[in-house]
Amino acid sequence: MKSHQTTIIDIARELNLSKSTVSRALTGHPNVKQQTREAVLALAEKMEYQRNQMSISLITNKTKTIGIIVPEFVTSFFSQVIIGAQEEARKSDYNVLISQCNEDYNTEVDNAQLMMRNRVDGIIVSLTKETKNFDHLRTFQRRGIPIVFFNRVCEEIMAPKVIVNDYDAAFKAVEHLIKTGKKRIAHLAGPPSLAISRKRQNGYIDALKKHNLPIDEDLIIGYDLNMSKVKIYIKHFMDMDNPPDGLFAINDPTAMEAMQVIKQLGKRIPEDIGVVGFSNDYASQFAEPSLTTVAVPVNEMGKTAVKLLMDMIDKDPADWKLLVKVLDTELIVRNSTVRKA
Amino acid sequence: MKSHQTTIIDIARELNLSKSTVSRALTGHPNVKQQTREAVLALAEKMEYQRNQMSISLITNKTKTIGIIVPEFVTSFFSQVIIGAQEEARKSDYNVLISQCNEDYNTEVDNAQLMMRNRVDGIIVSLTKETKNFDHLRTFQRRGIPIVFFNRVCEEIMAPKVIVNDYDAAFKAVEHLIKTGKKRIAHLAGPPSLAISRKRQNGYIDALKKHNLPIDEDLIIGYDLNMSKVKIYIKHFMDMDNPPDGLFAINDPTAMEAMQVIKQLGKRIPEDIGVVGFSNDYASQFAEPSLTTVAVPVNEMGKTAVKLLMDMIDKDPADWKLLVKVLDTELIVRNSTVRKA
DNA sequence: CTGTTAGCGCTTTCAG
DNA sequence: CTGAAAGCGCTAACAG
């Protein structure tokens, strides 16, 4: 079934003009008589003409589309980054092709190839927790298609990155727990494959060190972000002879799941154990107790990534800058660490 | 900066073959000598050839892309629908162009035109709360591009729709509140522009009627989903001489916001007032008390919408079926209505 | 100011 | 089995 889309030829025929004149009128080229232009625009409007992006892309070798690859879509984090990214892209009249990977490496590779086939002008990427091979991404650079990483960045590929001050934020988060009087703080960390896991863990460790608290390896568990495991680890923690009185979790979903388990075990938050998350997920404000967390400027992260990408598109790869933008975070203190009256 | 993407010509030149033969080998056409095919495929692999979707689209007048237009991205609802939709689309080797509208009508129109320019083969749409004019969507049908609505459907356009049994679900939700002993149940409804608001409200009203409870217009407030207003309305309810002892909210974010306010006012949930939401948002399990809500099969909704769309793509519009798929929901009873021991 | 021509990368006739 | 040629909708270069 061939759908009928109005073409330039349709307009040209109707107005008895050449294709090129119509094209010029439509694209705002100066060399068109005012009267002709008006006639063309009026008819285009009437016939609901929408230029065919395909043919233009074929000529210009530009699709005016950027790809966004994110690891998951369940928590609000990446959705919100995407909102920012999309807003920024729209400013430059760019579209956005979005793919989420269900935290699956093979899906990420598929998505990358899909982007390739669709000849996106650039991509912004946050890796799945599984991604350890980066060939599918290197292909882009090899072809002069720019990449910008955000949040879960790849340290082995030379490309601009947008991250937050993970180390500092973690440091402050843990320091906050310490200031509320906690002395045995556990850390439910992310998989070591992710740089953010390592940085946050380092922040955690250094905060303890600064305050002369012992580093107890038993209190640090790196896990694969598979939420169903949180229960096991938290029970493990709380079953200890000397259970922790504080918990710093790699992200908010983990922290909230942990709080569920802690409450089931009959422990009070924050009295028995204070909890801090990371990312300020949409849900964290509603949790009970509301979750103390590190607010990441998600919207800005998306915007910044796209801005950096836009600076690379149409530039010679030799001129690409290797900026690493570090965005500031803010510790949001809520009831999971400091109970308000 | 022209990025170098491998083309069929590159391969043809290298192998001293004609373009057509290479093309045939690549597309699995039977009339190619086994040996030739293997050589082509091997080289294509080596040169990282990725077919240019643009040129194919130009010829076939098909982009293998479907558009998804959703009103917002903040709550988890639409994200999850998109996950399902994307999975289903991928099965048929279709890509997905996603646009969210920030609940803004003009953005919806823009997004629709963007889809049009990109010649999507079909779209699935959930309307913004503001959308009352549907011309931007009718254009698609006029051109033989199929539309499927989901969740927030348009009743004025003849198109397949995927919805849930809003009336029944609301009825059961309210009946559940009644069974927990509540007799004065308020309803924080959505904007009347949305059919789901009206249906859920009707379910609410009929449940009260069935149980011989009076319909008090003062206990029904339809609002514009602007979350900041929830506080005002809930305070208004609770300030009444005879405040409600139950609340049925149009959706989970509303319910959770309401619970926050109720708790601030020092009222107990569910003892003083039982609360039921709608949609089983990701956050609702973490809320305190955990929120009783109507679980919507979000993933299935996305999948079903795409399936219906796929059945229309490539079919003569005359053969398009006007199915309305009604998916079943499930009432999930949590602590906001029935406190577990 | 307007028309003509060529060609983007690919598939699809039509000829061998 | 393979090649040559036409053309998808549009823009850009070259002529008027």
- pLDDT band (50, 70, 90) for residue A341: low
| B128 in the same domain as B45 | no
Q: Which of B64, B8, B70, B69 is nearest to B40 (CA)?
A: B8
Alpha helices in A31-153 (DSSP H): 34-46, 53-60, 76-91, 105-117, 135-142
Contact B53 A282 (CB under 8 A): no
Chain B partners within 8 Å of A86 (Cβ)? 99-100
Q: Which of A66, A72, A221, A204 is nearest to A151 (CA)?
A: A72
3-state class of A242 per DSSP? coil
Residue type, A22: V
- pLDDT band (50, 70, 90) for residue A117: confident
The answer to whether some atom of strand D lies closer than 7 Å to the beta carbon of A53 is: no
| B195 in the same domain as B211 | yes
Share of chain B above pLDDT 90, in %: 72
> To the nearest whole number, what is the mean pLDDT of chain B?
93
Residue B320 domain-assigned (yes or no) = yes
**Which residue has tokens 């348009």?**
B154
Residue A85 domain-assigned (yes or no) = yes
| B150 in the same domain as B211 | no
Share of chain A above pLDDT 90, in %: 70
| B289 in the same domain as B189 | yes
Q: Which of A25, A44, A60 is the last residue of a domain?
A: A60
A315 interfacial to chain B (CB closer than 8 Å): yes
* Interior angle at CA A326, CA A324 and CA A331, nearest 5: 165
Pairing state between β A147-150 and A122-125? parallel
Share of chain A above pLDDT 70, in %: 99
Taking the CA atoms of residue A305, residue A311, residue A316 and residue A322 in that order, the dihedral angle to the nearest 10 degrees is: -50
- pLDDT band (50, 70, 90) for residue B1: very low
Which pTM does this prediction carry?
Answer: 0.89
pLDDT in tens, A238-251: 999 999 999 999 99
| A235 in the same domain as A202 | yes
* CA A178 remoteness from chain centre: 30
Determine the pLDDT at residue A29.
83
Residue A123 domain-assigned (yes or no) = yes
* Mean pLDDT value across residues B28-42: 88
Residue A335 domain-assigned (yes or no) = no
Chain B partners within 8 Å of A97 (Cβ)? 95-97
* Interior angle at CA B26, CA B22 and CA B27, nearest 5: 120
* Mean pLDDT value across residues A112-117: 87
Measured distance CA(A103)–CA(B93) in Å, rounded:
20
Burial B166-181 (b: 16+ CB within 10 A, else e): bbbbbbbbbbbbbebe
Determine the pLDDT at residue B341.
58
Q: Residue A39's domain is classified under what CATH number?
A: 1.10.260.40
| A179 in the same domain as A267 | yes
Instruction: Name, in order, each residue with C-beta under 8 angstroms of B268's C-beta and a sequence gap of 6 or more.
Output: none
Nucleotide nearest to B20 (CA to C1'): D3
Q: Residue B73's domain is classified under what CATH number?
A: 3.40.50.2300
Residue A338 domain-assigned (yes or no) = no
Determine the pLDDT at residue B266.
95
Whether residue A1 is predicted with pLDDT greater than 60 in this model: the reply is no
Number of domains in chain A: 3
pLDDT in tens, A20-50: 898 888 988 888 888 888 888 988 988 888 8
Determine the pLDDT at residue A314.
82
Nucleotides of C under 7 A from a protein CB: 1-5, 7-13
Q: Which of B60, B76, B96 is the last residue of a domain?
A: B60
**Per-state percent for chain B, helix, strand, coil, to nearest 5:** 45, 15, 40
**Which residue has tokens 């092709």?**
A97
Whether residue A2 is predicted with pLDDT greater than 50 in this model: the reply is no
**Which residue has tokens 């308000």?**
A340
**Selected residue of B100, B113, B136, B286 to mutate for chain A interface (largest A Cβ count, 10 A):** B286
Contact A3 B48 (CB under 8 A): no
A113 is in which domain, residue-wise? Answer: 65-163+297-327
Residue B279 DSSP code? B
CA atoms within 13 Å, Cβ hemisphere of A115: 33
| B171 in the same domain as B266 | yes
The answer to whether some atom of strand D lies closer than 7 Å to the beta carbon of B55 is: yes
Spatial distance from the CA of B250 to the C1' of D14 (Å): 64
Residue B337 domain-assigned (yes or no) = no
Determine the pLDDT at residue B199.
97
| B145 in the same domain as B36 | no
Q: Where are the beta strands (DSSP E) in B160-224?
A: 161-164, 185-189, 220-222
Determine the pLDDT at residue A52.
86
Residue A332 domain-assigned (yes or no) = no
| Nearest protein residue, CA measured to C1' of C7 | A59
What are the tokens at A105? Answer: 């490496």
Measured distance CA(B98)–CA(B69) in Å, rounded:
6
| A280 in the same domain as A184 | yes
| A255 in the same domain as A222 | yes
Residues of B (36-95) whose Cβ lies below 8 Å from A: 48, 50-55, 57-58, 61, 63, 65, 73-76, 79-80, 82-83, 86, 90, 95
Determine the pLDDT at residue A6.
87
What are the tokens at B132? Answer: 């009352």
Measured distance CA(B31)–CA(B20) in Å, rounded:
11
3-state class of A252 per DSSP? helix
Chain B partners within 8 Å of A76 (Cβ)? 74-76, 79, 282
Share of chain B above pLDDT 70, in %: 99
pLDDT in tens, A248-268: 999 999 999 999 999 999 999
Q: Find the range with the poorest average confidence among A156-165, B94-103, B179-188, B225-234.
A: B94-103
pLDDT in tens, A65-104: 999 999 998 888 999 999 999 999 989 989 888 889 999 9
If you write DSSP's letter for every residue of A306-330 in order, what string do you get?
A: HHHHHHHTTS-GGG----EEEE--E
- pLDDT band (50, 70, 90) for residue B2: very low
Chain A partners within 8 Å of B284 (Cβ)? 286
Residue B1 domain-assigned (yes or no) = no
| A175 in the same domain as A159 | no
> To the nearest whole number, what is the mean pLDDT of chain A?
93
Q: Which residues pair with B274 in a beta bridge?
A: B246
Let me know: does B4 contact A144? Beta carbons within 8 Å. yes
Contact A86 B74 (CB under 8 A): no
Polymer length in residues for chain A: 341
3-state class of A132 per DSSP? coil
Residue type, B88: E
| B302 in the same domain as B156 | yes
